[in-house]
Homo-oligomer: A and B are copies of this chain.
Amino acid sequence: MHASLRARSSVWHADTVTTPPPGLRERKKQATREALREAALRLAVERGPDHVRVEDIAEAAGVSPRTYNNYFASREQAIVAAVTADREARIAAVVAARPAGVRLADAVTEAVVEQYTNTGEREHEALLLITTRTALRDAFLDATAGIEPPLTVVIAERLGDAGAHTARVLAASVAAAVRIALEGWLRPAGNAGAAEGFGAGGLVVPSGSLPDRLRAALAPLAPAFDAAERRTQP
């Protein structure tokens, strides 16, 4: 029983770039990938994350354990990927879709907030599970690095060829900022912080919601975006 490849409606709506028709090979690969991450998440939810071995996931997806490792480098990656999926690509797409008039910084910030706010019921359940194991938390945080490549592309489009280099740095900074926001957000479970209500002069940030945290983390980067944009369209 191989991975079910249901005929996915191949709606190749022009993605700004010409998408060459995906061959059989590529479709199978994506199907296997999806089967693996779905199986990983399902099993992790059903029996608890510690009672799922790679062997189980592979079997549930109809491939060999060795093949599993051709798709995911760690056990945690597959589980996390079921939640992360293609957030990366969606963020980039949303940024690209924003009218050229708006500030790049705003476009990016809103795109990020938008994609991380779409918390479906299933995702929420998965996130709860992720917070319970540090290995999963780490894998989840590491996954944010995945937004860097697509973000680099869309930012580079706005900045022009001269800013290709800058785009890379800005995209990486955004990824870092998002990571920090998420890190602080799902910390409550594994509290180990130093300053928790020290009475001195410092005004303590009250630990807001995810959108608030994301905006707060991205705000310091806005001047860098503005400067980069200014350099191409004076």
Q: What is the interface of chain A, defined by CB distance below 8 A to chain B?
A: 1-4, 6, 73-74, 138, 142, 145, 161-162, 164-166, 168-170, 172-173, 175-177, 179-180, 201-203, 205, 216-217, 219-224, 226-228
Contacts and interface: CB of A to CB of B under 8 A. Distances in A.
B4 A142 contact: yes
B1 A142 contact: yes
B224 A228 contact: no
Contact of A175 (B1, B166, B176): B176
A205 B162 CA distance: 9
A161 B220 contact: no
B162 A169 contact: no
A169 B227 contact: no
26 contacts: A2-B73, A2-B74, A3-B138, A4-B138, A6-B138, A161-B201, A161-B202, A162-B203, A164-B202, A165-B205, A165-B217, A166-B219, A166-B220, A169-B176, A169-B177, A169-B217, A169-B220, A172-B177, A172-B179, A172-B180, A173-B221, A175-B176, A220-B224, A220-B228, A222-B224, A222-B227
Contacts of A164: 202
A73 B2 CA distance: 8
Number of copies of this protein chain within its complex: 2
Contacts of A222: 224, 227
A3 B205 contact: no
A216 B165 contact: yes
Nearest to A179: B172
Contacts of A226: 223
A-B pairs with the 9 shortest C-beta distances?
A161-B202, A172-B176, A223-B227, A173-B173, A224-B224, A223-B223, A166-B220, A4-B138, A176-B176
Given A162-B203, A203-B162, A216-B165, A73 B1 contact: yes
Given A4-B138, A142-B3, A161 B203 contact: yes
A190 to B, nearest CB: 11
Given A220-B228, A223-B227, 11 more contacts: A3-B138, A4-B142, A162-B203, A166-B220, A169-B221, A170-B220, A173-B176, A220-B224, A222-B227, A223-B224, A223-B226
A142 B2 CA distance: 9
